[in-house]
Structure 1
Amino acid sequence: MSSPVPPATLVSDNSAADVERGDFRDTLPEIPENAPYCFRDRNILMLQGPVGPFFNRLAKDLQWAGAKVHKINFNGGDWFYFPANATSFWDSLDKFPAFLNRVCEEKRIDTIMLFGDCRKMHRMASEIASERGIEVLVFEEGYIRPDYITMESHGVNGRSKMPRAGIFYLNASAPEPAETSTVGKSIWHATGWAFTYYFWAIVLWPAFPRYRHHRPLSWFEGLAWVRGAARKYWYRLKNRADIAKLSSDAAPPFFLVPLQVHNDAQIGVHSEFETIEEFIRHVVRSFADHAPRDALLVLKHHPMDRPYTDYTRLVRKLRDKTGLGQRLIYVHDPHLPTLIQNAKGMVTINSTTGLSSIHHGKPTLALGDAVYCIDGLTASATLDEFWTRADEFSVHPDLYQSFRNHIIYRTQLNGNFYRRIKIPGTLAGIDWARGK
C-alpha cells in the first residue's frame, strides 16, 4: 500500500452552493510533502477491517511512522488476525457506544479507522467520533479498480464529502496520478483470508455470543463458495453464445445493468431500493415500457455475489411477464470493458462500475447516491427517459479527467487489501538487502 495522505486534507467543507458560486476560499488544500509521516503522534483506533491481515500490517506501518495503534475485536475472526494490543467487545450492540466512549477516553483516541461505513457499529462509531471531534478514516474497495483501495475521511459514496458540482473540478486542478504498481488477481488471496476469518469466527463464537455479523456465521458459508465455483463454470458454458454476440463488432444495441452484491449496505443506505430484486424489477419494467423495440437489456451478475444469489428464475418470470423474451439477457462473466464499450449506456445503483462506464465515455445513469453523480459525468434524466435519450448525455472529458485526478489524489491508495505488492518509494517497496 502506498503512503497515506493526511486525513485533514482529504476533503473540503464547501457546500455545492459555494462551489457553484465560484467561492473557493476553503477548497481542498494541498497535501504536504511530508505526507508519509502525517500519522506521527496520532492515537489510532481500528475497528473492523477487511478479512485478512491488512489492518494488522497497516498497524505496524503506522507504528513505524510514529503512531500509537489500538484495536477493537468483535468476533473470533477479528481476534485471529489482530490478537495483540487489542480489546475485545463481548457485549450486545446497544452497549457499544458506552464501551467505545470509554476506550476513546482511556486511549486518547484522535483517529478511528474502519472498513465499511454502513455497518451498525461503524455508524455508531461515526456518530460518537463526530461528537468527540475524532477523525474517521473509512476504507473501502477502490473507486478506481483494480489497482487502488479507498481511504476517505468521514465516509464513502453517499457519505463522501468530495464536491458534487462539476464547476469545482473544472476550476480546481489536481496532480496527475503517480505511476502505480499493478495488483494483479487477488481472488484466491481473498478467498483464503475469508475462509480463515469465518473459520475462527465460528470456532470462537462462544466467546462472542452476542455478535451479529452482516453475513451468516456458519459452516454453510464454505459450502456457499463451493456452489459459487460450480456456478462460475456452469455460466461460462451457458452464457457463451450471449457473450459472443454482445462482444462482437456487430453487437445489437443494448443497455448494460451491472448488479451489486445483495447485502451491500450502500444500497439500503444510499438508494431507494431495499433489495437487488426490487432494483431488477424496477429497471426491467421501465425498459419494457419505454426502451426502443430493437434494444436489449443485459443484467450482469456481481462475481462476489455468485455464491449467494442466482436471479435466473426472476429473469425468466420477468421475460414472460413483460413480454421482453430474449431481449432480456442475464450473464455472469463477460469481459466487462468490452461490454461497456459496446453498450449504448449503463444503468446502475451506485456501483463503482459506473466510473468504468464514465471512463469509456458511455452515458451512465446512477439511481442511487454515488460519489460520481455529477452533471457532465452522469445523466440528468429519469429512468424512463434514459432509454431513448441516452445519446444526449455525453461525458465531459475535461471534467472527467479532473474528477478522476482529484479522486485518486484525495481518496485512493495504490495497493490491495488481500495481497502484498511492492510499490517503489514506500516502506513495502524497499529492498532491505540492497538498501533501496
Structure 2
Amino acid sequence: MRGADRRCFLFLQGPLSPLYRRIGPALTTAGHKVLRINFCVGDWLHWHGPETLSYRGRFEDWPDWIADRLEREGVSDLVMHGDTRPYHRQAVIAAERLGITVHVSELGLIRPGFMTLERGGLGVSSRFPVDPDAVARLQARAGEVDIAPRHPASFALEAWQDVSYHLPNVALGWLFFPHHRRHTPISPLLDYTLWLRRLAGASARARKAKARQEALLGSQAPLFLLPLQMEGDYQIVAQSPYGSVRDALQVVMTSFARHAPRDARLAIKSHPLDNGWIDWATEIADRARDLGLGDRAVFLDGGDLAALMARAEGVVTVNSTVGLDALRAGRPVKPLAPAIYDGPGLTHQGELETFWVAPQPPDRARVAAFLTAIAACTQVRGTIHNRGGLQEAVEGMTARLLSTEPVPPELAGPPPRLERARALGIRL
C-alpha cells in the first residue's frame, strides 16, 4: 500500500470482549498501521503485544500525553468504545483539534444482534440528523435493511467477560497501573457482592413484581411507564442534565404528581442489570409519600417490560434505548434529554407536564424511516455477547472502518443535538 493511502488506527478501551483485538490484525492485513493504548491490567489481558502501549501516568497528565502521541504517531483514525469516559473524552478533544477521524462503538441501538459504530460521536455528539427530511433521504439511499433480531445475548458470557476484566484490575492494578482511574461508579468487588445478594433474592423479587404487574395490567386506570437507567451510566452523567438517576426520578415523579390525571398510575421499573446498590423500593415509596402520590407510583423490581409497554399510555425516559423500543411498539415517548431517537414525528415534542394528559403518538412512517436510516448509517450486524455474533461484528466493523466512501451530506455537519444539549446544561 502506498504511503499516502496507509492509515494509522489508534484503539483506546474497547468493550469487554476480544472484539478490538480481532479487528486490529484485520486492519494490519489490509496494509494499515495499528496501535492500542492500555490503561489497566484488564485492557492488557484483552490485547497486548508489540503494537500496544501502556499509559501509567496520572489522569491530569493524560490530555497532553495523548495529544503528543496522536501527533507523533501520525494517527489518522481514533477508535474507542464510548466517547464520554474520562480518558476517551480528552482523547476526542485532542483528535478533533488535529483533524483526526473519531470512530465510536457501543452496544447496538437495535437489539439483539447489532453493534453501534458512529463517526464523530454518540448521543448528543452524534451527527445523525434530527430533521425528518434528512432522515427520509438516508432511508431512501439505504433501501431495504434487515433489522430482524439475531444472536441472542448470553448472560453467562457477559458475566465472564466482566469478571475476567475487572478482578485482575483489583488484584494487580495497584502494581502495574497505580494511577488508573476507573470509569465505573463503584468498585468491582462491591458490585459482585451486591449481585450475589440479588441472585439470592431473585425468586422472591420476581413473585412480587409479577403480582404488582398483574394488578397494573388488570386495572382500567391510565398507566405510564418509567424504566430506570443504571446509576453511574454515562448516558446519565455525561449525556443528560441530571447528575444521577435519582435526580431524574425526582423530576418525573414531581411532574406526575402535579399534572397527571388523578386516576393515573406510574409504573417505575428497575433496570435488568441493577445490582441493588440503591434501594429503589424505599426511595420511591418515600418520594411517593412526600408528593402525596400514595399507591399511584408503583415500583417493579422485575416484570415484563414488553407487557407493561403494550398497556402504557406513554413511556418516559431520560435517553434509554427502551425509548426506541417503545416507538417501535407504537407507544408515545417523552425523553428528558436529547436522545438519538428524539425528533418530530417520533417523540412527544411538548413539555413533560403535557405528556401526562395528551401524549403525542409516534408517526409509524417516520419510525420506519428512522429505523432504516439508523441501521444503515450507525449499526453493524453482530454482538459481543454471543460467540457466533462476534465474528460477524469483527467483519462488519472492520469493513466500516476501512470504507473510503464519502460521508453522506446528512451526516457531515456539526452534531444537531449539541446546541440543545448545552442549553439544558449538558457539558460536552
Moved more, 320-329 or 56-65: 56-65
Q: Which residue of structure 2 aligns with residue 51 of structure 1?
A: 16
Q: Which residue of structure 1 aligns with residue 381 of structure 2?
A: 414
1:135 is displaced (CA, Å) by 0.8
Moved more, 61-70 or 135-144: 61-70
User: Within 5 A, what are the aligned runs for 1:225-244?
Assistant: 225-244=195-214
| Cα distance, 1:330–1:181 mapped onto 2, change above 3 Å | closer
Residue 398 (1) aligns with residue 365 (2): yes
Q: Alignment partner of 1:239: what SS?
A: helix
> Aligned residues, how many?
387
| Cα distance, 1:425–1:324 mapped onto 2, change above 3 Å | closer
For residues 131-184 of structure 1, give each alpha carbon's deviation from its aligned partner in whole angstroms, at most 9, with x where no partner exists: 111111111121112221111111111111111112222344232213667111
Structure 1, unpaired ranges of 5+: 1-39, 430-436
User: Within 5 A, what are the aligned runs for 1:301-320?
Assistant: 301-320=270-289
User: Within 5 A, what are the aligned runs for 1:160-171?
Assistant: 160-171=126-137
Distance in 1 of aligned mates of 2:34 and 2:110: 28
Q: Which of 67, 83, 88 is the matching residue for 1:101?
A: 67
Q: Is the Cα contact below 8 Å between 2:85 and 2:234 reproduced in 1?
A: yes
Moved more, 300-309 or 126-135: 300-309
User: Within 5 A, what are the aligned runs for 1:383-394?
Assistant: 383-390=352-359, 393-394=360-361
Q: Which residue of structure 1 aligns with residue 113 of structure 2?
A: 147
Q: Alignment partner of 1:71: what SS?
A: strand
Q: Which of 159, 162, 165 is the matching residue for 1:194?
A: 162
Matched AA of 2:207: L
Matched AA of 2:301: H
For residues 282-304 of structure 1, give each alpha carbon's deviation from its aligned partner in whole angstroms, at most 9, with x where no partner exists: 11111111111111101111112
Residue 222 (1) aligns with residue 213 (2): no
- Which 4+ residue blocks in structure 1 deviate beyond 4 angstroms? 422-429
Distance in 1 of aligned mates of 2:36 and 2:213: 46
Q: Which residue of structure 2 aligns with residue 325 of structure 1?
A: 294
| Cα distance, 1:59–1:230 mapped onto 2, change above 3 Å | farther
Structure 2, unpaired ranges of 5+: 397-428
Q: Is the Cα contact below 8 Å between 1:139 and 1:152 reproduced in 2?
A: yes
| Cα distance, 1:46–1:180 mapped onto 2, change above 3 Å | farther
Q: Which of 210, 215, 219 is the matching residue for 1:245?
A: 215
Residue 204 (1) aligns with residue 172 (2): yes
| Cα distance, 1:180–1:240 mapped onto 2, change above 3 Å | closer
Distance in 2 of aligned mates of 1:425 and 1:285: 45
Distance in 2 of aligned mates of 1:322 and 1:312: 15
Distance in 2 of aligned mates of 1:238 and 1:152: 41
For residues 360-396 of structure 1, give each alpha carbon's deviation from its aligned partner in whole angstroms, at most 9, with x where no partner exists: 1111101111111101101011111110011xx1211
Q: Which residue of structure 1 aligns with residue 303 of structure 2?
A: 334
Identity %: 30
1:218 is displaced (CA, Å) by 4.9
Distance in 2 of aligned mates of 1:67 and 1:232: 49
CA RMSD of aligned residues (A): 2.2
